Amino acid sequence: MNLVLELSLNRLGKRHMPKDTTMHNFIRTFTIFSAQYLNTAILFVLAYNSFVFSESRKAENDKDDWLVGPFDEFNFRWYMIVGSPIALAIIIQILTPHVGLFVKFFCVSMLRWYDRGFTSNMRSTKQAVQSDYENLYTGPKFILQIRYAQMLSVMFVAMTFGSGLPILYLAAFLHFFFAYWTDKFLLLRYYRLTSGYTKFLSRNAISVMPLAVVLHILFGLVIFSNPQILQSEINPSYFGNDTKYYNTSRLGQRHVVIFLWASIAILVLTVLERTLTRIASALSACCRGLFLMCTIKIDKSAASDEMVLSDDLYKEISFAQLYEEYCRLKVERQKIKLQKSKGAFTDLDLKRYVEKYIASIERNE
C-alpha cells in the first residue's frame, strides 16, 4: 500500500509544477511522507483504539460510530492484532524500496551489454544515432525527495511505536543501512548527474525530525504506564487526578517518573540544541586557550641560544642535503660555463644573469 501511495503521489506531484524547483521537491517529499505515515501508523491507531469513549459505547459496536475501536490500552491483544502488522510493514520496508531499483539496474546493464556485443569494450556500440546512445547509457535522475519521504516515514513509525515494539528500532536501522549502500552504489553506476537539489530540502527534512521525539514521548508514556505490561513501586504523593490515563496509580510508578523526567530533559535539549551548542563551543574554545596559556612556556634564554634562524638556506639543511646540493650545483656550473664558451648567451644575458648566477654558485661552494 505504501508503494502504491508513493508512486501515485509522485505522479501527482509531477503535474503540480511550481516555478520554484526547491519548493516543488519540498511539497513532494512531505506529501509522500505524510501519506505513508498516516497509512502505516495513524490509521491503525484511529481504527483500533478508543481512548475517549466509554466501555458501554464500545460494547454497542455500532457501525456508524467512527473512531470507536476495541482497544483503550496498548495491551498484549493490541500487540498481537495491531502491533504485528505495523512491525511487518516496517520490516518489509527494509528491502522493498530497493528491489525495484536493482531490477531496473540489472535490465539496463543487460541491454548495454547486448549493445556492446556481449563484450566489455566500452567504446563498442550498435547505436547509429547519438541520441539513442545517450538514452541507453545515461541513467535516470536520482529522486531524492522520495528517499527522504521513505526514511522519514520509517523513522516516525519506529519512534511512535518503538517503546512497545523495540524490533522497529532494528528494522529502522537496517532500512537506513541498506538505503545508504544502495544509493551509494547506484549513484556511481546507474543514476545520472542530477541538479536542482539544494540544502533547503535536507534542512527541512532535519527540522521535522524533532517531532518524532515528541511522538515517541507521548506514546511511550501511555505504553510504559500501563500496569498490565510493566509495574513498579507507586509514589502516592505524585501528581495526577481521577482520570483513566492521568491518575496517580499510573503516573506515580517509579519507572514512569524516571521516563517522564528524562523525556522533559530530552525535550529541553532538543528545543535549546542550537543555543547549547553555541555555548558549548564557546566554553570549549575558552578552555582550550587557557590550557595552552598554562602549559606552553618558552624559556627565552634557551630560545635565544637554540632557536636561531639563519638568512642563508644552506645553513638550515643537513650535511647530506648540503653535499647533494653541492654536487648538483657543481654540475650545473660546468654546464653553464660550457654554454658560455659556445656563445649560447647574449652579452646582455651574460651581464644581467649568467655572471651573477655563476658567482653565487662559486660563493656557496
What does pLDDT average to in each consecutive run of 10 residues of the chain (365 residues)?
56 55 79 86 79 63 65 84 90 89 90 87 83 84 86 93 92 94 89 76 86 90 84 74 73 84 88 85 87 65 48 65 79 84 81 80 70
User: Is the same domain home to 57 and 182?
Assistant: yes
C-alpha of 58 from chain center: 45
In a domain, 303, yes or no: no
Q: Structure pTM?
A: 0.67
Determine the Cα–Cα distance for residues 35 and 205; give it in Å rounded to an integer: 15
User: Is the same domain home to 204 and 327?
Assistant: no
Beta strands in the chain (DSSP E): none
User: Is the same domain home to 205 and 317?
Assistant: no
User: What are the phi and psi torsion angles at 247 (to 5°)?
Assistant: -110, 165
In a domain, 170, yes or no: yes
User: Which residue, 157, 188, 209, sits at the end of a domain?
Assistant: 209
- Contacts of residue 277, defined as CB under 8 A and 6 or more positions apart, other chains included, come to none
User: Which residue, 163, 186, 209, sits at the end of a domain?
Assistant: 209
**In the numeric block, which cell numbers belong to residue 23?**
519548493
User: Which residue, 161, 194, 209, sits at the end of a domain?
Assistant: 209
User: Is the same domain home to 201 and 80?
Assistant: yes
Determine the Cα–Cα distance for residues 36 and 147; give it in Å rounded to an integer: 12
The number of domains in the chain is: 2
pLDDT in tens, 197-243: 778 888 888 888 889 999 999 888 888 888 888 888 887 766 666 76
Tally the C-alpha atoms within 13 A of residue 194's C-alpha that lie toward its C-beta.
17
pLDDT in tens, 85-101: 899 999 998 988 888 88
Q: Is 234 helix (H, G, I), strand (E, B) or coil?
A: strand
User: Is the same domain home to 50 and 185?
Assistant: yes
User: Is the same domain home to 89 and 202?
Assistant: yes
User: Is the same domain home to 29 and 169?
Assistant: yes
In a domain, 216, yes or no: no
Domain region containing 50: 2-209
Long-range interactions of 177-184: CB distance < 8 A, separation 24+: 178/94, 178/95, 178/98, 179/97, 179/98, 179/147, 179/150, 179/151, 182/98, 182/101, 182/102, 183/142, 183/147
